Amino acid sequence: MKATTLVGILLVLLGIVGLAYPRINYTTREKIVDLGPIEATKETRKSVPLPPILGGLSLAGGIVLLVAGSKGR
């Protein structure tokens, strides 16, 4: 398999995932109090929004690479 085909497949998969999940969520832990054996932590949930245009561009670019890779044969 050629490199353009592999990159095209990867871009198509990333584009589909990017359109299906518009946010990446993660949790951070912060130590608030540390008094010997007693600790208090705070968990904060954060999210990073992904613009749908990135997923669409990735999907379109992957399709273009797949078509270009198949025409080269």
User: pTM value?
Assistant: 0.68
pLDDT given at position 44: 96
Q: In total, how many domains does the chain have?
A: 1
25 close to 46: Cβ distance less than 8 angstroms: yes
Q: Which domain holds residue 47?
A: 3-71
Q: What is the C-alpha separation between 47 and 21, in angstroms, rounded?
A: 12
Average pLDDT in the 25-39 region?
Answer: 92
pLDDT given at position 68: 87
- Does 2 score more than 80 pLDDT? yes
- Does 72 score more than 80 pLDDT? no
27 close to 46: Cβ distance less than 8 angstroms: yes
